[in-house]
Structure 1
């Protein structure tokens, strides 16, 4: 049976508010909760807090940057959060974006997929308690091993959009977390995941595929869809190149160009207007409760999907998030 997760939105008022959302998600029998890490709270502290305040719900983070922490530190983090949560943690990793890498972590966004691969391999060595010994392109060296804490398996979920990144997830990670795909495009991208699994001599069925579906279920369906349009315009126009490129490859090339051009020229209203009904219908779940349920079910029906991660839109109120969680529980 397909699981349902919840993604905590960025910028919530307090740790207590995040914990309240987690407790509510657990009470509604959601399977897993994932927290963000961009330029606000660090995900590790949030997850440690949630491990104390929840009992059963799985805990994850969206994307930890391979420039923000060393691979060995990520291994330590994974082992420690597994201990804190009694084994409920899965580590989310991804290449992130040039903007965040260079303007926040002050790194150089070079060979991102190679860095992600080597980071996974090293953190797996560390969390398994092996002596660190690595000969790679980005990282090289070793000599120490984990001490003072019991080694444990740390599952790594890779956030990826493009074919090569998705293939990498299939070959080296334990799960794949895509976002802003139509069900048809998601089904096609599964071929890249399976090819990667084959290259790694792995069974694709052992990989947890958890697609993020941003959702807003309101009695006022038009209002929900307008919320979705504004979020899509922002992610296409301002949020780095990868979402725009991914959505363009799904048959929305002209639309994404129009959104991006209007956003770059400072015409936010025109950018939002350029987001079509077909984009809203295909990429997210926004509208009446019944329509949102039907959209989420279409994603659940994609062969190979193990979980749908219910995300939100940035301008949604706490009450709108609660309502959406209730509708989709």
Structure 2
């Protein structure tokens, strides 16, 4: 078993339920500390995590992340508290501002002031988990309720954030920071800012890493992470593309968009002229190369996270998990 603190995450595009569950079970066997399941427009992440909770005994389970537009604060708190009870205290609630495409295209809500929404929901969820009554509009003349469960103020809340406003929300309301699409350099800068902002308060758990794929055939591993990165840039609205461009990869983003007029999660490409962005935001190669590259993330993070692209064969998933966890394979 590994002595490093490791986590593995799956993207919202991974919809093979049997693969999701098998990944969590194998991660626990290999000594991973955290399993994170994103939620998008397919499975309810909290329900799948409940299934996993009943088949595991040690690994922490992160709803990573739930959109703050997808449920009321009370529903978010209720789901997290229920999962925490079923798992024996292993639940972690991940929250994020999501994207315009998902908020408006699936939930039919206006994507306005996302940082404000994130702050308000995170604050209210924490209050409800602590056993307080829900804050309601006084105009409703209703009796504010509290959850009919034992308070769970210790249940961790991790926030996915990358911008200036949302990073401040992490400092004020989170127990953990869960970024994605930051280069190693930018992640370390943000981590240092957060630690300074949190001075005198309990430290944050910083969980960072990148999309990863390990394979004996290095080209195959590159194609896997390249397709995932290109899909996010080309098909998930402007937010991810703008974030990557702002870190010095504007030309790479434009080249990737030009190369993928009809992107798919498993069939998109990163052209050679965008290799610098691919190398900065993903980890790929032989098992040894993947392990060594992930080690470079250790100085800035408490938990080193790998994110597995969707749709890849089980053999590749298992090889990637083992490449990170086991030193001598």
Fold conserved between structures, TM > 0.5: yes
| 3-state SS of paired residue (1:240) | coil
| Residue of 93, 104, 107 corresponding to 1:105 | 107
- Structure-2 residue corresponding to 1:202: 201
| Residue of 31, 49, 52 corresponding to 1:50 | 52
Deviation at 1:8, TM superposition (A): 3.0
Cα distance in 1 between the residues matched to 2:235 and 2:143: 39
In structure 2, the CA distance between the partners of 1:2 and 1:320, relative to structure 1 (3 Å rule), is: same
| Residue of 33, 49, 55 corresponding to 2:35 | 33
Q: Does 1:190 align with 2:191?
A: yes
Gap runs ≥5 in structure 1: none
Cα distance in 2 between the residues matched to 1:135 and 1:192: 35
Cα distance in 1 between the residues matched to 2:259 and 2:224: 18
| 3-state SS of paired residue (1:64) | strand
In structure 2, the CA distance between the partners of 1:293 and 1:219, relative to structure 1 (3 Å rule), is: same
Cα distance in 2 between the residues matched to 1:266 and 1:216: 23
Deviation at 1:260, TM superposition (A): 2.7
Deviation at 1:150, TM superposition (A): 1.0
Deviation at 1:195, TM superposition (A): 5.3
Cα distance in 2 between the residues matched to 1:37 and 1:262: 28
Deviation at 1:196, TM superposition (A): 4.4
Cα distance in 2 between the residues matched to 1:50 and 1:267: 31
Where do 1:144-163 residues align within 5 Å? 144-147=145-148, 149-153=149-153, 154-163=155-164
User: Residues 197-232 of structure 1, C-alpha deviation per residue, up to 9 Å, x if partnerless?
Assistant: 35xx634xx211111421111111122112222222
| 3-state SS of paired residue (1:301) | helix
- 1:26–1:56 contact (8 Å) kept in structure 2: yes
Q: Does 1:11 align with 2:14?
A: yes
- Structure-1 residue corresponding to 2:278: 280
- Structure-2 residue corresponding to 1:293: 291
In structure 2, the CA distance between the partners of 1:125 and 1:224, relative to structure 1 (3 Å rule), is: same
Deviation at 1:192, TM superposition (A): 3.9
Deviates more, 1:188-197 or 1:160-169: 188-197
- 1:217–1:323 contact (8 Å) kept in structure 2: yes
User: Residues 226-252 of structure 1, C-alpha deviation per residue, up to 9 Å, x if partnerless?
Assistant: 222222221112222222122112221
- Structure-2 residue corresponding to 1:252: 249
User: Residues 161-203 of structure 1, C-alpha deviation per residue, up to 9 Å, x if partnerless?
Assistant: 22221221112111111112221121122244235435xx634
Where do 1:1-329 residues align within 5 Å? 2-9=4-11, 10-14=13-17, 16-133=18-135, 143-147=144-148, 149-153=149-153, 154-194=155-195, 196-197=197-198, 202-203=201-202, 206-263=203-260, 265-266=261-262, 272-273=270-271, 276-302=274-300, 305-329=301-325
Count, aligned residues: 318
In structure 2, the CA distance between the partners of 1:277 and 1:261, relative to structure 1 (3 Å rule), is: closer
In structure 2, the CA distance between the partners of 1:54 and 1:270, relative to structure 1 (3 Å rule), is: closer
| 3-state SS of paired residue (2:67) | coil
- 2:228–2:268 contact (8 Å) kept in structure 1: no
Deviates more, 1:308-317 or 1:212-221: 308-317
In structure 2, the CA distance between the partners of 1:239 and 1:271, relative to structure 1 (3 Å rule), is: same
Q: CA RMSD in A?
A: 2.5
- 1:36–1:62 contact (8 Å) kept in structure 2: yes
In structure 2, the CA distance between the partners of 1:316 and 1:151, relative to structure 1 (3 Å rule), is: same
Deviation at 1:270, TM superposition (A): 9.5
Cα distance in 2 between the residues matched to 1:179 and 1:324: 19
With the length of structure 1 as denominator, give the TM-score of the two structures.
Answer: 0.89
